[in-house]
């Protein structure tokens, strides 16, 4: 990869033609090829990770956390290269990619600190001859499957708590974005984290890797970020060995603008939430509900701002919206737009016809609530708007979905803020804020958006067992 300043990042993984091909979604050109493992090799990897985990958990936590801090520093030192890889293989605009590198790195620093605080409890006993206490212990080998939309952060958000807890961590990155995954792992090795404690694998196909990760008895924890469809299947596979799971699945985030909102701020939040990564994030605002009294003002201001957004190559510094991940993704989003238009939806911003994997930002009004555009996850820069009058009815519509990941609303009325935040059936609620992801808060969903939380102290718990120890026969 001649684009990189630090040639060591991918030196050990690039092959000369055999293996998984990685393409640039900007122009579908071939970027690189990385090796693929067969199922037997991945099973062997898991066995090695089991041995690695035993040694890793014996290291003093301070030593583990020091290595993680070194890893964190190396990521920041190589942030331009990592951002470049994210843009090349994922299409994300460079400035956003740099944001992802820093966001991804923040989990490593945060868990390197939090790992030292995996406290147990001592519990008052009912009888004098017993002491009751709990200790926290690493679960064991943790395996993960991650998506392409955050090729770095979705890995570090899982690997950091796993390593801090004393687990080893094996991961299959998305086949679309393995380069970032291998590069960030190489930096972990350079920091001194052993190869049998952290490892990336690309299989001959996703299904084969998924089978090993979910059926192998030595894998004690499985963490997945991806679609609800695939997550449901993997969760069922995990049932066979009763694994602990964390599932970060699909979302269908409502974005609500009440008539007492600060409209300028709501427009800014809407754009930040909707168009991040060209609308390809699970917490992207998916459907907009705007109250009657501010409907015209919101739409007018929104259109003016959205039409300024620049669509283009992610490597161009001025680009706001890059390409979608693939031809298929573009086709899927185009079909959703056409379907809604066929049922009366109207585009109210500038129409731009674009070649390649691009979809221009599209604002649609008069959208019927039961259309797939509103009911499913769009994963593209399309913004359907629905007008509402009564709060109760709108909340019922917002909650009428199998998903429960993120929700956003804008209001300046304190009573309403508490009431609506309470009544939305979502794992994360942004109030007067369109970007809510941070390493210090628990990220995760309700309903079929998944289980478990990533980030914050809850994120560490996902990789720990609570062991209760009862010491009896004491003479007190």
Please report, as ranges, the residues that interact with ligand ADP according to CB under 6 A: 145-147, 172, 174-175, 206-207, 210, 226-227, 230, 233-234
Token duo for residue 233:
């299947």
* 293 phi and psi angles, rounded to 5 deg: -65, -25
Active-site annotation holds for 114: no
Q: Which is nearer to ligand ADP, 174 or 180 (CB)?
A: 174
> Cα(377)–Cα(252) distance, rounded to whole angstroms?
5
CA distances (Å), 42 to each of 35, 37, 46, 224, 246, in order? 12, 6, 6, 17, 21
Smallest separation, CB 247 to ligand ADP (Å): 11
Distance of CA 268 to the CA centre of its chain: 22
Query: Quick one: 151 or 459, whose CB is closer to ligand ADP?
Result: 151
What distance, in Å, lies between the first and last C-alpha atoms of the chain? Answer: 68
Q: Which of 65, 216, 237, 252 is nearest to 141 (CA)?
A: 216
Pick from 308, 277, 265: nearest CA to 95: 277
Nearest distance, CB of residue 463 and ligand ADP, angstroms: 20
Residue 62: CB minimum distance to ligand ADP, A: 34
Nearest CB to ligand ADP, comparing residues 36 and 345: 36
Contacts of 275 (CB under 8 A, 6+ apart): 306, 309, 320, 321, 361, 381
- Our CB check for ligand ADP shows the closer of 206 and 431 to be 206
**Is the CB of 52 or the CB of 178 nearer to ligand ADP?**
178
Which residue number, 149 or 291, has a Cβ lying nearer to ligand ADP?
A: 149
Instruction: Mark residue 96 as left, alpha or beta (left: phi above 0; alpha: psi -120 to 50; beta: remaining).
Output: alpha
Q: Where are the beta strands (DSSP E) in 160-208?
A: 168-172, 198-200
* Residue of 109, 114, 248, 377 with catalytic role: 248
Q: Angle 178-191/153-165 helices, nearest 10 degrees?
A: 30
User: How many residues are present in the chain?
Assistant: 476
In the complex, the smallest distance separating the C-beta of residue 42 from ligand ADP, rounded to whole angstroms, is: 12
Sequence-distant (6+) residues with CB within 8 A of 236 are none
Encoded tokens for 306 = 């959205």
Give least dist CB 31 to ligand ADP, A: 17
Active site residues: 248
């Amino acid at each position: 990869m001649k684009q990189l300043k630090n040639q060591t990042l991918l030196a050990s993984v690039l092959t000369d033609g055999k293996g998984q091909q990685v393409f640039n979604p900007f122009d579908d050109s071939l970027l690189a090829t990385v090796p693929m493992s067969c199922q037997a090799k991945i099973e062997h990897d898991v066995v090695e990770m089991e041995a690695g985990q035993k040694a890793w958990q014996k290291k003093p936590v301070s030593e583990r956390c020091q290595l993680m801090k070194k890893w964190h520093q190396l990521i920041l030192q190589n942030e331009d290269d990592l951002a470049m890889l994210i843009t090349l293989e994922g299409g994300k605009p460079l400035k956003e990619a740099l944001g992802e590198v820093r966001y991804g790195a923040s989990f490593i620093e945060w868990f390197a600190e939090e790992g030292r605080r995996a406290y147990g409890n001592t519990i008052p006993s009912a009888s004098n001859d017993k002491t009751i206490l709990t200790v926290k212990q690493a679960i064991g080998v943790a395996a993960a499957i991650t998506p392409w939309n955050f090729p770095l952060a979705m890995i570090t958000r899982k690997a950091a708590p796993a390593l801090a807890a004393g687990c080893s961590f094996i991961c299959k990155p998305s086949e679309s974005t393995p380069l970032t995954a291998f590069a960030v792992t190489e930096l972990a090795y350079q920091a001194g984290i052993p190869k049998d404690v952290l490892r990336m694998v690309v299989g001959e196909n996703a299904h084969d890797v998924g089978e090993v990760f979910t059926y192998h008895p030595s894998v004690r924890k499985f963490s997945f970020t991806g679609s609800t469809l695939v997550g449901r299947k993997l969760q069922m596979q995990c049932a066979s060995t009763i694994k602990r799971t964390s599932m970060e699945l699909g979302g269908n985030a409502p974005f609500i603008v009440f008539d007492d909102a600060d409209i300028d701020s709501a427009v800014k939040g809407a754009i930040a939430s909707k168009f991040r990564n060209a609308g390809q994030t699970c917490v992207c605002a998916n459907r907009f509900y705007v109250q009657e009294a501010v409907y015209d003002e919101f739409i007018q201001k929104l259109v003016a701002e959205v039409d300024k957004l620049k669509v283009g190559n992610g490597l161009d510094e001025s680009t706001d919206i890059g390409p979608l991940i693939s031809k298929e993704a573009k086709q899927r989003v185009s079909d959703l737009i056409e379907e809604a238009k066929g049922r009366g939806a109207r585009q109210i911003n500038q129409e731009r016809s674009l070649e390649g994997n691009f979809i221009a930002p599209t604002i649609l009004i008069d959208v019927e609530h039961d259309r797939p555009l509103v009911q499913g996850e769009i994963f593209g820069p399309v913004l359907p708007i629905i007008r509402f009058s009564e709060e109760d009815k709108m909340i019922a519509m917002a909650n009428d979905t199998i998903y429960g990941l993120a929700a956003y609303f804008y209001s300046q009325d304190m009573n309403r803020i508490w009431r609506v935040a309470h009544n939305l059936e979502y794992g994360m609620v942004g109030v007067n804020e369109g970007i809510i992801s941070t390493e210090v808060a628990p990220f995760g969903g309700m309903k079929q958006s998944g289980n478990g939380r990533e980030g914050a102290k809850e994120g560490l718990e996902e990789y720990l067992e609570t062991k209760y120890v009862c010491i009896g026969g004491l003479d007190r």
